[in-house]
Structure 1
Amino acid sequence: MSATPTGPGQPPEPLAVLRLGERDAEVELRRSYPTTADDLWDALTAPGRVRRWLGALHGDLQPGGTVQLRMGDDVPGADDVATCTVLVCEPPEHLRLDWRFPGEEVSRVDVALVPRGAQGTELVLRHARLADGAARGYAGGWHVVADQLDDHLAGRQVRSWDDLFDARLALYPAAGPRAS
């Protein structure tokens, strides 16, 4: 799926494909950014940069390490903190995490960065092992994250989650194709 930018002033279009399947639903999001894989990797993994557009990143970003992404206030144990076990970390190409979010089963997040020459770098994010009920929210949520990352990379004021989430969630129907 080719992504259309959803910057300020542009109507949002879906960036993610949502596949449902009882306990094995998944979301796959693709978005291209006009930057190098190294710069995109840095924006996704360097704590100082992540804090500017998403939240506080703490921990050990290497295989076997644990990281916390604190998306609201920088408070351990809050209800908006993802605690992740790093399974694969291959800069600037691939990151795989076991994702633990309060009140949910452990799921899997895979991030790949694919250089596209003059077009920049494509981010491919796959969030799998989701319950059907969580998948739609993650589709909208990851779409917001992709938009906020775009704001950061473009040097714009990063739009807030609250300003974006409802419109992004509405792009993803409550039912979608079943995962195979």
Structure 2
Amino acid sequence: MKTIDKRMIQSQQKIIRAFDELLQKYDYQQLSKAQITKTAQVNRSTFYAHYDNKQAVLTQLLSQNYLVDLKRTLASNAPLEQLASEKILHTILMIHQKTEVKYPKAYLDIKTVLSNEMIEMLEVYFKELWLENRQVNVAEVNFMASLCSWGMYGVAMRCANQELSLLVACQQFEQLIVHYLITDKSKTSSRVS
């Protein structure tokens, strides 16, 4: 059984490495499962044992090699009182820069997947921060987490396009968050009273 697991892991990693190699040379839309399996030296059934489609391979590749940086940054952040938005924005920008340099032909397709994954990670991050040890309206938290995750990602893209400096972006974003927290705390304390 351990041998099967080891072989499964090895074949999965072969597919990821082959996909990574091909993505550096070709546009994402041009890649076929046949190219991936040929480069990985696995058959189609092995491919389908691990992945439903090339989108799933792309998502795993990005998760293993790039999104792990954002996950690490979010996990290491201080409590909400000390928002580390600069660190988060910097990490988002670095991930985009790395992928754009490594996959110049496929970057536009990759950017869409990266965006969706990062926004989802940020939303979970904000929800966890606001729900932790607080009596809050869950619907409000979900709304604000969604707003802030899209907002933070949008701010990062404005910084990437040099429409906004990182420092100004962080200050504005933190003011928004602090405003919500202060308003939320006063609502919470008035509900408790």
TM-score normalised by structure 2 residue count:
0.26
Return the index of the structure with the highest Cα Rg: 2
Q: Which has the higher contact order (CA 8 A, sep 6+)?
A: 1
Q: Normalized against structure 1, the TM-score is what?
A: 0.28
Instruction: Point out the structure with the larger strand share.
Output: 1
